[in-house]
């Protein structure tokens, strides 16, 4: 009996067990895989929906909820569209908390903890404006949002690091700083 098992074992090895199959007791899939013309799910044809050459297109009328937001740089021609953006996020405690978190990571280095333009990086950069001026208060939420996304002449774009709603949370937090400074 022992001999027969040993022979069976050897046959399995000869038939090409992979290292990880060797380490565990063979399951039904392993046995079926030994027969070359049997197809297991592991090796079978699978549909890869996003793979070239036939990526499956989204259903018509699909609205992107993340990602595909059209580029809208801060240029004079774009100002009407930028200022028309409506802040969809209410200034709740949760929004402020999240905005505060993102602000301290991405904006504080230049604009300072309170928004006065006195962050540690600005000791070298020297040109960061205060976010507490009347000019900054008069900027629309849409403008702040777009500035975060695309940056300015010197200010880097944070669109790739602060995503979707988080940008509005930062806007809400900047508004809070402006309110607190008044
Ligand atoms: C590397 C330094 C730096 C960082 C980080 C930075 N900014 Fe700025 N920011 C600037 C500079 C410099 C300007 C002046 C305009 C310009 O040259 O882009 C500016 C301008 C602005 C303005 C005013 C635009 C105007 O037209 O008056 C806003 C609003 C603003 N930043 C918000 C933010 C917010 C929110 C963050 C965090 C997501 C942030 N900034 C991060 C450097 C920075």
Q: Do both 82 and 162 map to the same domain?
A: yes
What is this structure's pTM?
Answer: 0.71
Does 41 share its domain with 83?
A: no
Cα→Cα distances 2→8, 13, 27, 121, 150, Å: 10, 17, 20, 75, 72
Predicted local distance difference test score (pLDDT) of residue 165: 92
- Looking at the structure, tell me whether residues 170 and 128 fall in a common domain: yes
- How many angstroms separate the Cα of 153 from the Cα of each of 30, 74, 127, 157, 164? 61, 10, 11, 10, 22
| 68 lies in some domain | no
Q: In this predicted structure, what is the pLDDT of residue 42?
A: 64
Residues 105 and 39 in one domain: no
Closest Cα to atom 43 of ligand 1 = 155
Domain extent for 150: 76-181
Domain match, 53 and 87 both: no
Q: What is the pLDDT of residue 108?
A: 96
28 in any annotated domain: yes
Q: Which long-range contacts (CB under 8 A, 24 or more apart) does 114-122 make?
A: 114/177, 114/180, 114/181, 115/174, 115/177, 115/178, 115/181, 116/181
Give the residue, by CA position, lying nearest to ligand 1 atom 40. 107
In the structure encoding, which two tokens stand for residue 2, read together? 């022992």
Judgement on whether residues 102 and 174 belong to the same structural domain of the protein: yes
Residues 90 and 175 in one domain: yes
Cβ-proximal residues to 115 (8 Å cutoff; 6+ apart), any chain: 130, 131, 132, 174, 177, 178, 181
Which CATH number characterizes residue 80's domain?
Answer: 1.10.760.10
* Ranges of H-type helices in 92-159: 93-106, 108-111, 122-125, 134-138, 141-150
Determine contact, residues 157/81, Cβ cutoff 8 Å: no
Do 96 and 154 belong to one domain? yes
Q: What DSSP designation does 77 have?
A: G
Q: What is the pLDDT of residues 4-25, one digit of tens each?
A: 655 555 555 555 556 665 566 7
Taking each continuous run of H as one helix and of E as one strand, the counts in the chain are: 10, 0
**Domain check: are 43 and 85 in the same one?**
no
* Structural domain total, the chain: 2
Are residues 85 and 146 in contact, defined by beta-carbon separation less than 8 angstroms? yes
Any domain includes 71? no
Q: Kindly state whether residues 43 and 116 are assigned to the same domain.
A: no
Instruction: Please tell me the predicted confidence (pLDDT) of residue 37.
Output: 75
* Backbone φ/ψ region at 113: left (φ over 0), alpha (ψ -120 to 50), beta: alpha
- Residues in the ligand 1 pocket, defined by CB under 6 Å: 106-107, 109-111, 121, 125, 127-129, 131, 136, 139, 144, 147-148, 152-156, 158, 162, 170, 174
Q: Are residues 93 and 166 in the same domain?
A: yes
- Asked if the structure places residue 65 within a domain, the reply is no
Domain presence at residue 67 = no
* Ranges assigned E (strand) in the chain: none
What is the full per-residue pLDDT of the chain (182 aa) written as tens digits? 566 655 555 555 555 556 665 566 777 777 777 887 776 666 666 777 667 666 677 777 766 666 568 888 999 999 999 999 999 999 999 999 999 999 999 999 999 999 999 999 988 878 899 999 999 999 999 999 999 999 998 999 999 899 889 999 999 999 999 998 76
Same domain (yes/no): 104, 25: no
- Whether 66 is in a domain gets the answer no
Q: How many CB atoms lie within 10 A of CB 141?
A: 20
């Amino acid at each position: 009996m022992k001999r027969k098992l040993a022979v069976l074992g050897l046959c399995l090895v000869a038939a090409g067990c992979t290292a990880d199959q060797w380490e565990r007791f063979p399951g039904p899939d392993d046995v079926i895989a030994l027969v070359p013309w049997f197809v297991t799910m592991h090796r079978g044809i699978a549909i890869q929906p996003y793979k070239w050459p036939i990526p499956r297109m989204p259903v018509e009328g699909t609205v992107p909820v993340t990602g595909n937001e059209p580029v809208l740089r801060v240029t004079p021609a774009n100002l009407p569209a930028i200022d028309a953006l409506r802040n969809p996020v209410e200034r709740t405690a949760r929004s402020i908390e999240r905005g505060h978190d993102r602000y301290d990571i991405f904006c504080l280095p230049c604009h300072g903890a309170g928004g006065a333009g006195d962050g540690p990086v600005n000791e070298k950069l020297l040109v960061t404006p205060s976010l507490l001026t009347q000019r900054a208060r008069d900027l629309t939420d849409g403008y702040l949002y777009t500035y975060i996304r695309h940056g300015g002449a010197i200010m880097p774009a944070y669109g790739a690091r602060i995503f979707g709603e988080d940008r509005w949370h930062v806007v809400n937090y900047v508004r809070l700083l402006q309110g607190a400074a008044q």
